[in-house]
Copies of this chain bind each other. A is one copy, B any other.
Amino acid sequence: METVSTNKSHGGTQGVYTHASDATGTDMTFSVFVPPHEKGAALPVLWYLSGLTCTHANVTEKGEYRAACAEHGIIFVAPDTSPRGDDVPDKDQYDLGKGAGFYVDATEAPWAGNYRMKTYVEEELPGLIGDIFPADMERQSIMGHSMGGHGALTIGLRHADRFRSISAFSPIVSPLSCSWGQEALRLYLGDDEDAWRAHDASAMIADGARHPHLRVDQGTDDQFLEEQLKTGFLRDVCKELGQDLELNLRAGYDHSYYFISTFMAEHVGWHAERLKEGRR
C-alpha cells in the first residue's frame, strides 16, 4: 500500500492510499480518516460507499464527516466506486462502467475481469484496513449515497452480523425497478433477473434478509427520487414484512453533497450509538 497524501484534520489524520488490488486486478485508491486516539486503541470503523461518477474524493472533500468522527472516535473509510485504468472496460455513459461498479462481481464479458467491487469492498479492503489501521473490526457499520446507498443496504443486509447499523442517503432501493439498476445489472450480471435479486435491497428483504438498525434519509426535492431511487418501494416492503426502517424525508433537500453534509453528523452519531458497545 502506498500513501498518496495525509493531512492533519480535526485532530486526526485524513489519508488517501493506493494499492494493487487482487479483486479488481487494478490499482485502487481509497481514503481513511483516523480520529485522534490513544496509542494502542482499537477504533470502530464506518464504511461509506459513494454514488455514480464519484471516487473516494467526493465525500472526503465535501462530506463534512471529520468533526463527528473525531468526536465519536470513529475511523471513516471511503473506497472508490469502480476499478480504474486505461485497460479497464468502460462505457461512454456516466451510469455504466467506470464510476459505476454497483458493488457487484460482474459475471459477463468484458466486465468480469475487473468489475469485482463486491469482493473488493466485502473482503479485500476490510483485510487491509484491519491490518494497517488501528481498527476494531468487531465494530463496523456501513453507509452510502445513491448507488453507494444501494451498496450499503445490500452489503449490510448480506452481512448483518458484521455491520451493526446501516444507513443511506438517497439510496437506489431497488435496482430491479429503475433504469440505472436494470442497465447496470444486465451488463454486469447478464439477462437472468433472478441473479439480480441478491443485489437489490428491497428484494433481499422480501426474500428474508433482516437487520435491526436500518436508516434512510431522503430529500424530497431529489431530482432522481421518482424515476431511480423509489424510496417508497423500500418503505412498503419493510412495512409489509416487519423490517424496522427509520425513514427520514427531508423537505426541500436534493441529491447533492449539500444535503449529505447537512445530516452527516447525525448519521455518524447514530452509528456511534450502535458502535460503542463491546469496546475492546
Contact = CB atoms under 8 A, between A and B. Distances in A.
Contact of A11 (B14, B67, B257, B262): B262
A263 to B, nearest CB: 9
A85 interface: no
Query: How many copies of this chain?
Result: 2
B62 A7 contact: no
Given A67-B265, A265-B67, A7 B259 contact: yes
Interface stretch (A113-121, A177-185, A238-246, A248-256): A248-256
Given A8-B259, A66-B261, 7 more contacts: A8-B252, A8-B258, A9-B258, A10-B262, A61-B61, A61-B257, A64-B64
19 contacts: A7-B254, A7-B258, A7-B259, A8-B219, A8-B221, A8-B253, A8-B254, A8-B262, A9-B253, A9-B259, A9-B262, A10-B261, A10-B262, A61-B61, A61-B62, A64-B67, A64-B261, A67-B262, A67-B265
